[in-house]
Structure 1
Amino acid sequence: MLVIRSALFNLCFMILTPLFSLLVILFRPFGFSASWLWARMWSQTIFMLLRLLCGIRIVIEGKEHLPDHACVVVAKHQSAAETVAMPILVPPYTWVLKRELFNIPFFGWALALLGTIGIRRGSPREAIKQVMQDGSAMLNQGRWVVIFPEGTRSSVGTTGNYQPGGAILAQKAKAGILPLAHNAGALWPKRGFIKKPGTITFRFLPYIPAEEVSSIKRSELMTQLEADIEAATRQLGG
């Protein structure tokens, strides 16, 4: 039964994602907000199906830590679930993702039209420069910036190589940092077909104000972020 329910969800996901992506594209001429409405609706629809078909519900903890202004979200990366959930977790934002994702029909095109920062991971210096330039512009426009510092998804119980792009951007743009931990990989594993029933908990950790971000050494900031995010992730079972 678990296999059948997972298969049905995966089929719905494959059908609905291009459909909602097309709506994002078609509504983009009417402004960012018009497109963002469909992106958020996609996220809500997918998680509704996850609950109905796979028995997966979500809980969001630490919402009191969200600031009332744009900041840099530094998030754990274990699963596709956190990318799907992001539109219902934080205000309108831009992602920092690998540029190759823009080549995915409809979904990748929608990402590009929403102003996603697509970097070439083979050129770290160029990637950092682009994140600084485009990320700062988005923050100045009031758009949040979401970064997965590990770059790629890590397995449950493991830690990827945390890259300093989010910290560098926050310091250069004089922005705060909001860390995010979760256990999504335990129920929706990376490259995993089976979706296991249970609760995915997204936990926002205490916000680090811009003043504190600017005053601390980058290496110390990265050490703090990695330690806090990984500790919370393990506590959640991720």
Structure 2
Amino acid sequence: MILIRSALFNCGLLGSAIFFSLLTPLLLPFPYSIRFNIIKGFALFNVASLKWLCGVGYRIDGLENLPAGPGVLLSKHQSAWETLAFQKFFPPHSWLLKRELIWIPFLGWGLWMMRAIAIDRSAGRKALKLLIEKGKKRLQQGQWVMIFPEGTRVPPGTRGTYHQGGAVLASKAAVPVVPIAHNAGQFWPKGSFLKYPGTVRIVVGPAIDPAGKSSSEITREVEEWIESKMEEISS
């Protein structure tokens, strides 16, 4: 049944991706807030579909920790699930992602319309400079910035290298950092066709004020909070 349910979900995912890809170019004349709310319908549909077809639900705690104004969201990255579900839970935000995704037909259009920050990961300091430049602009426009500090999806029970880009951006823009832990990889593993029933736990941590802290100190604080929370919600 898991195979059949997963196959049905993937068919719906593909079909909705085609529909929203064709819809996206028509939204170009509209303001960003309208584009975001329409395009996130893709995410809302598939999060609901995943729960109904595959039994993958969710529980989120700590939303009261979100500051009133925009900030930098630094999240654990285990699955494709959070790239969908986070659009449901969090205010309009821009993703930091590798620029190759923008080049993908249809998908890239949607990411561009959502004001994603696309960087060349191999560019080193140039990539960091671009993140700060575009990230500050997004924050000044009232958008949040979503970053996976490990840079890529990591399997449950493992820890990647936490990069300092998000902390640097928060310091330069003088906005808070909000850490996020979740265990979505247990139910929708990286690269897996199968989706396993269960409840994804998402925990939003207390906001971190970057004032008076170095980017390495902020990153270390984020890492310690996320990884300690991962042990708690994954047990």
TM-score for the superposition, normalised by structure 1: 0.95
Aligned 1:97-108 pairs, distance under 5 A = 97-108=97-108
Aligned 1:121-200 pairs, distance under 5 A = 121-200=121-200
For residues 224 and 150 of structure 1, the distance between their equivalents in structure 2, rounded to whole angstroms, comes to: 14
For residues 27 and 6 of structure 1, the distance between their equivalents in structure 2, rounded to whole angstroms, comes to: 31
- In the other structure, the counterpart of 2:227 is 230
- In the alignment, is the contact (CA less than 8 A) between 1:179 and 1:206 conserved in 2? yes
- In the other structure, the counterpart of 2:70 is 70
Residue deviations 1:48-67 (CA, integer Å, cap 9, x gap):
10111001111111011011
Residue deviations 1:28-87 (CA, integer Å, cap 9, x gap):
211112211222211111111011100111111101101111000001010000111121
Residue deviations 1:112-153 (CA, integer Å, cap 9, x gap):
122110000111111100000000001011110000001110
Structure 1: any 5+ residue segments left out of the alignment? Answer: none
Secondary structure of residue in 1 paired with 2:9: helix
Secondary structure of residue in 2 paired with 1:118: strand
For residues 223 and 107 of structure 2, the distance between their equivalents in structure 1, rounded to whole angstroms, comes to: 30
- In the other structure, the counterpart of 1:96 is 96
Secondary structure of residue in 1 paired with 2:230: helix
- In the alignment, structure 1 residue 218 sits paired with structure 2 residue 218: no
Partner AA of 1:9 in structure 2: F
Residue deviations 1:193-232 (CA, integer Å, cap 9, x gap):
11000001211011113xxx12112222211111111111
1:234 is displaced (CA, Å) by 2.3
Partner AA of 2:22 in structure 1: L
- In the alignment, is the contact (CA less than 8 A) between 1:24 and 1:36 conserved in 2? no
- In the alignment, is the contact (CA less than 8 A) between 1:117 and 1:134 conserved in 2? yes
User: Number of residues paired by the alignment?
Assistant: 235
Secondary structure of residue in 1 paired with 2:29: helix
- In the alignment, is the contact (CA less than 8 A) between 2:51 and 2:57 conserved in 1? yes
- In the alignment, structure 1 residue 85 sits paired with structure 2 residue 85: yes
- In the alignment, is the contact (CA less than 8 A) between 1:21 and 1:39 conserved in 2? no
Secondary structure of residue in 2 paired with 1:95: strand
1:96 is displaced (CA, Å) by 0.5
Query: Does 162-171 or 52-61 show the bigger shift?
Result: 52-61
Aligned-residue identity in percent: 42
TM-score for the superposition, normalised by structure 2: 0.96
For residues 144 and 18 of structure 2, the distance between their equivalents in structure 1, rounded to whole angstroms, comes to: 24
RMSD: 1.2
- In the other structure, the counterpart of 2:2 is 2
- In the alignment, is the contact (CA less than 8 A) between 2:76 and 2:148 conserved in 1? yes
For residues 92 and 215 of structure 2, the distance between their equivalents in structure 1, rounded to whole angstroms, comes to: 27
- In the alignment, is the contact (CA less than 8 A) between 2:96 and 2:145 conserved in 1? yes
Partner AA of 1:15 in structure 2: G
Partner AA of 2:40 in structure 1: R
Moved over 4 A (4+): none
1:21 is displaced (CA, Å) by 3.3
Partner AA of 1:216 in structure 2: K
- In the alignment, is the contact (CA less than 8 A) between 2:35 and 2:113 conserved in 1? no
For residues 23 and 180 of structure 1, the distance between their equivalents in structure 2, rounded to whole angstroms, comes to: 31
For residues 130 and 34 of structure 2, the distance between their equivalents in structure 1, rounded to whole angstroms, comes to: 26
1:95 is displaced (CA, Å) by 0.6
